[in-house]
A and B are shown apart, each in its own frame.
Chain A
Amino acid sequence: MCLAVPGKIISIKGKKALADFSGVNQEISVDFIKVKKNDYVLVYSGHAIEKVSKKLAMEIIKNFKSD
């Protein structure tokens, strides 16, 4: 959990997607799970591994910042 980063899917192209991580956009792989635009996902080492709620995503980011 501590290395997985929540991001919001901005766009999808095949097995790749562009995700927003607190204002930083990064290309990620979406080969493990199906996602759609505006989904929140946990990303580990550039791979989306799990969909999460917006609430959980925000909570995780808040915790990063308070560490």
Chain B
Amino acid sequence: MDFKTEEAKKLFLKYAIPCGHVLVKRGYLKEEKLERITKKLIENKKISENLEKIFPVGMRMCFLTAKRMKKKKIDENVIREYFWNEHEKAILWRSQIYPDIPESCKIVRGKVIKSGKIAKVLTEKGEIKAKTDFVKVFPGDEVIVHYDYIVEKNNLNCSEKR
């Protein structure tokens, strides 16, 4: 199964790249490859890499989520459904066996209180710092944060479309 649009592919990467650093640490992904793909994402260049090879589990889960949502391709709503819901369930399930999951694995919502290369974001659990490599943000913006990265602005219209 493929992505519906290049934008959907890029949204998947914004959510998945933060996990990519864990994969590098564990030796499943070469750091140069992750850096190359991150650079392309930041520069808004076409992503030609096969993401099933780089993020096999995330891609498999998006495929299953799309199938459950009766969609033929992975679109932006499938990605949000996966990362906002399925991913959270997976964290809870995994915690029952290996309670070593960092809090930053969880997707959190918050409001930008200070912009910059590293923004300050106010979440329900307090103030956190988050990288803005993928999204340009301003104070007052509602954002989604995954593993220290702001991955997108929290656009309510997107979730309403689901």
- What bracket does the count of chain A residues touching chain B fall in? 20 to 34
Is B86's beta carbon under 8 Å from chain A?
A: yes
- What bracket does the count of chain B residues touching chain A fall in? 20 to 34
Cβ B57 vs Cβ A26 within 8 A: no
What residues of chain B lie closer than 8 Å to A24, measured between beta carbons? 96-97
Chain A binder among B7-15, B21-29, B109-117, B150-158: B21-29
Cβ B19 vs Cβ A44 within 8 A: no
Cβ B100 vs Cβ A5 within 8 A: no
Is B87's beta carbon under 8 Å from chain A?
A: yes
Partner of B97, one of A1, A2, A22, A32: A22
Is B118's beta carbon under 8 Å from chain A?
A: no
Partner of B57, one of A42, A46, A67: A42
Cβ A26 vs Cβ B25 within 8 A: no
What 1/0 flags go to B87-120 for Cβ under 8 Å of A?
1011101101110110001000000000000000
Minimal beta-carbon separation of A8 from chain B (angstroms): 13
Closest A residue to B21 using CB positions: A2
Bound state CA distance, A62 and B65, in angstroms?
A: 29
Point out residues on A near B: beta carbons under 8 Å: 1-5, 21-22, 24, 26, 32, 42, 44-46, 49-50, 60, 63-64, 67
Point out residues on B near A: beta carbons under 8 Å: 19, 22-23, 25-28, 55-58, 60-61, 64, 86-87, 89-91, 93-94, 96-98, 100-101, 105
What are 7 residue pairs bridging A and B, where the CB atoms are less than 8 Å apart in the complex?
A: A2-B26, A3-B57, A3-B90, A21-B98, A26-B96, A44-B61, A63-B27
